[in-house]
Amino acid sequence: MASDATHDPLSIAYYCTGHGLGHATRSIEVCKHLVERGHSVTVITAAPARVFLREVPSARFLLRKAVLDAGSKQLDPFTVDVKGSLEDYYNTAVVRRDEMLAAEVQWLQSNNFDLVVSDVVPLACTAAAMAGVPAVCVSNFSWDFIYSEYLTTQRRTEFKRLVWQIAQDYSNAALLLRLPGYVPMPAFTAIEDVPLVVRHARKFPAQVREELGLPLDAKLAVLIHGGHKAELRVTEDFLPPGWVCVACNGGRPLSPDTPLPPNFRLAPADVYTPDLVAACDCVIGKIGYGTVSEVLAHGVPLVFVRRDFFNEEPFLRKMLELHGAAVEMKRRDFLEGHWGPYLQRACSLNVRYNEPTNGAEVVAARLEQVARGDAATAPKPNPMTRLRDTVVFGYLMATPKHGRVDVPDWYVNGADPNRRLGSFRNLADVAGSTPGASLDPLLKDWRVIEGDSRVLPHMPDTVAFLQLLRQLDSPHAEEQRGSGGGSDSSSTAGAAAADGAEAAAEMELPEFRAARGLFRWDDELVVTRAPGRLDVMGGIADYSGSLVLQMPIAEACHVALQRHPLAKQQVWKHIKARHDKLGGPRPALRVVSLHADDTNRAPTFDIDLDDLYEPDGSPIPYSSLRAYCKKDPASSWGAYVAGCLLVLAREKGVAYPDGISILVASDVPEGKGASSSAALEVAVMTALAAAHDCSLSSRELAILCQKAENLVVGAPCGVMDQLTSSLGDAGQLLALLCQPAEVQGTTPIPPQVRFWGIDSGIRHSNGGSDYTSVRVGTFMGLKLISEAARRLQRNSSSMHDSSGSGSGRNTSSNPGSSSVAAALTAAVSPLHKDAHVEQQQQQQQGDSNSGRASIDNSRSMCAFGGYLANISPSQYKELFESQLPSHLQGSDFLNLYGPHLDSVTSIDLSVNYALREPTSHPVHENFRVNSFRALLAAADALGDAATAAVVGGGGEARQRHGSVGQDSRPGSSSGAELPPPAAAAAAGAGVSHGGHNARSSMEDLLGMQQLALEHAAATTQQQQHAPGSSGNSWPESSSSSSNGAQQQQQQQQVRLVHVDEQPPAALLGPLETLGELMFQSHASYSACGLGSDGTNRLVNIVREHMLDARKAGCAPALYGAKITGGGCGGTVCVLGLAGSAGQAAVDAVVKQYQAETGYTPFVFAGSSVGAARFGHLRLIRRK
């Protein structure tokens, strides 16, 4: 289209990043249309000039070579050099920033450009603003988003400033023309969506095939393998018979030392790739904008291999899947040549991209409008789009990840923002499964051989899982058996058998196709269930020996497992191809994880079970399996499952002569601090033990699961998550003394209070750099304190010897010296020898990694038994705190002190570790947890306070529910009614509402703990001596059991009570003190560097609720909140009143957070039984 003759031609500067061919090819398409409209275009880029000049041969098209950014540096075809990429950009665009900006501004002004376009060079936007020229960006991603993920593994401050600088550069752009497959880009104030900018084929497919010498009925694959120098040695058997592959590798041989087999062709360097794409049956390659746009525009499927740290990839993958164009190939199969099943799967797809592909023309016209300054078409800010992008950006980038990026499904076009990820509830509703419904139809389908089917009426999630299994065995499931797992399974109409459109949509996902062919339905299955957990108190202090209080939540992971004798084993096509090359069938592990589509991970994992053993038949080291699973990050989640198999083989001698298939369906959301990984491990380990007749105690099972996560997954977690998932009970807090795994029973949750978990939307990871660095700093502090304790003991001993030798010194002149000496004497002797001996034996029986046993032995001989939690806050403050540096370089620590005594983390020489705060946290946290537990035990005082608060309105006029216990689903326990309220012993517990310092009020809390214990004992004694009597606490009308009706009426009374009408402060003290302990714990997390904006905001909203209620003259309904688990995002635990008042307050918190961020939090409410109480079900499908 020619430009309007009434307007003068424009002069446009077009900046194009030099990273990746996709930027260049789409920029060329836009430039073509700009030139056709009569404008002059100068491209500024570091990309090869021939790419541009060959495609736009015009005098109005010029090119200037300049390096203004650095893009991403690759280590190999699948992996980014994260540190190298950041360093390259820093050295290119930060060190020389002022010089480059000045040069660009002068050049733009001297050439009188009308418009600057950037794809997507950050510096160009700021240079344009300084030169007074409008700037427009054209892209589907921005470098601040890309580099933000890199920061999760790099801690250098200048890198963090780098990302902020990039975002500020982009904010100078007047408009972003956003291409499909976009990532969140909140730096831009005005955003407009445009169609695909894509290269179109110039030749007919028949012409291309004729030039290649191929018959029209031959199968053609195009391998796009350019952009790096890595070799790929292909052989003829990479392809099925009748296939030919044309390799696009920039004209370079795939392997210089290996000639191409006859069914492979090498495309010339200047090949026009869209012609090949249009003529082929499928494309094999990596996901990038150029490849994705071309396969969609020409209706061709893409067989792709995932890459590490290419965090724009999940968004492009979602677009491919939405239009039926995606088949995922496992990296191992790509490298080893097992391509056949994936190519066959691709040929069965019906690619349907019905969206416009004229983006180049649309973009050119819009750029012209912006350059001419037409007021009617001026870019308009769109705050809601920016808000959505900001939320998703934070959701993805605020926390560390294992090279894996999650895309919230509510960000994908057409998704429901309120849909719960990975939930069975929708499926259960569709299938008609509701709590209390008759189980007769279900039991007609399944015969329970082993296990207690009486639990099922209380387990609606388990009922839904069994119904899911029934639906997988649909009449069409037979078509799927042996057809391949995940993406390589054939298409199916089996979803039509599901009840309802939603179930049908679910059943079309790749993981459901794979799951249909997973089991032999005429043989027995083992089904297990393990819940996630809510960390109420203790958190990251578990690995320092603290007491922790954990609640098993209602959400759980279900596992179905079946053994397959080799003669009956059915495997996916790519496994069969692998076995055929190895000489025949062998036992294999196949795992399908449902709801993988909600995250950027492969839905299936498989490994030959022979690979778990050395040639001599002994199990391989843990490190070998860890390295195997890390080869393909998309399937690295399989380490949680395969790790359980290896642990049982190494520690319990379990053998695996049969194949094993496992279906995983977890209702515990991932990355939200609810221990989804522990629930998976416990469910899998329980199923494996049951299927292989391996007897394990619940405690032993949890410790073995921790070993799998530590040594195979590589996540340095403590053991509290696995113990809670295994041993927890409904309506109870599990008390664990993590030295290393001492179960101290359960603490009932008083029926007047309740705990909720509110998801911040920020992803949490135990394996991330922040959690790991805090743990390393903690163990550094342990070793420094041990050294200091020994020095102090030697000094104290020498002073004592000197004073007792007749020197005439008066020891009373140094009061407390004897107690200090006694404390130090105890400190340097292990305080829990039995526990340490047990831990030492367990760990030394484990991995044979060099130095591990010696490290564990050294830790057990540390001061305070090797656990910081054994130090009292007063001892720590008086003797050790001042001797700890705030930070310490890793190299300096190793040079001065040697190993840090932690067998699951290593010290990075280049990192400057925080030391004092991570060391302080477990000392004070253990004290807080013990105080918290003692207050919960003083149930009478809590009952008085809660009753007074509810009668006081809970912040506003609400009617109290009749049932106020901790809502528990499934297998819940409502708890017994408390005795009539007695006088509170916790009087006068002054708690400040100001700054909540993690170390404040320790003496007050100690007194509160003692008072609470004394009160509990006094109340028990009073009830024993006068069973019919009661205290004279306010209000008197509720003190007598004969006035039960009056008491109930008063509790249900709806009114506001002003402060001067409320009961004495003593009755409110316990609730507020519990809340203060939680606030202090949260503040301590933040001091360690484990906070996040989202979790901090949720905690502050709870605090604001308390203050607002007091200002309104009402009692609050919420009393405390804290970040949970490993920190760095995830979930916040909230303490409040049970019943409608507390629930309404939590709903208000959720509503406010949603209004501020655009993200609707998921709320964990209720508890359930652990895996030990559930046991396992061995069942078989009835014929």
How do beta strands 175-178 and 1118-1123 pair?
A: unpaired
Contact 531, 679 (CB under 8 A): yes
Cβ neighbours for 285, distance < 8 A, ≥ 6 positions apart:
222, 223, 224, 225, 291, 302, 303, 304, 305
Give the C-alpha distances (Å, rounded to integers) separating 774 from 922, 1087, 1088, 1122.
11, 11, 7, 18
Cβ neighbours for 441, distance < 8 A, ≥ 6 positions apart:
none
Dihedral sign for Cα atoms in the order 1020, 1025, 1030, 1031: negative
Go through the chain and tell me how many residues it has: 1183
Question: Of 606, 632, 658, 721, which residue is the catalytic one?
Answer: 721
Q: Where are the alpha helices (DSSP H) in 447-596?
A: 460-472, 501-507, 510-516, 573-582
Within 10 A of 810 (CB to CB), how many other CB atoms are there?
A: 7
Tokens 């909720």 map to which residue?
756
Buried b (16+ CB within 10 A) or exposed e, 83-92: eebbbbbbeb
Contact 247, 339 (CB under 8 A): no
Q: Where are the alpha helices (DSSP H) in 56-185?
A: 82-89, 97-110, 122-131, 143-150, 157-170
Tell me the CA end-to-end span of the chain in Å, nearest whole number: 68
Burial tier of 1175 (Cβ tally within 10 Å: 0-12, 13-18, 19+): middle
Buried b (16+ CB within 10 A) or exposed e, 561-593: bbbbeeeebbbbbbbbbbbeeeeebbbbbbbbb
Q: Where are the alpha helices (DSSP H) in 398-509?
A: 425-431, 440-445, 460-472, 501-507
> What tokens appear for 1146 in the block?
């939590």
Q: Is 876 left (phi over 0), alpha (psi -120 to 50) or beta?
A: alpha
CA distance 193 to 180: 8
Taking alpha carbons only, the member of 292, 296, 319, 288 closest to residue 413 is: 319
HSE-up (13 A, CA, CB side) for residue 881: 15
Taking alpha carbons only, the member of 886, 1047, 1063 closest to residue 978 is: 1047
CA distance 1104 to 141: 37
Q: Is 275 a catalytic residue?
A: no
Taking alpha carbons only, the member of 124, 942, 106, 513 closest to residue 115 is: 124
CA distance 539 to 566: 44
CA distance 728 to 706: 16
Contact 530, 726 (CB under 8 A): yes
Prior bond to 585 cis, omega within 30?
no
CA distance 1127 to 540: 8
CA distance 553 to 964: 18
CA distance 87 to 92: 8
> If you ran DSSP here, which 8-state letter would residue 632 be given?
S
**What three-state secondary structure class fits 234?**
coil
Within 10 A of 329 (CB to CB), how many other CB atoms are there?
A: 25
**What three-state secondary structure class fits 511?**
helix
Amino acid 323 reads: H
Q: Which residues participate in catalysis according to the annotation?
A: 721
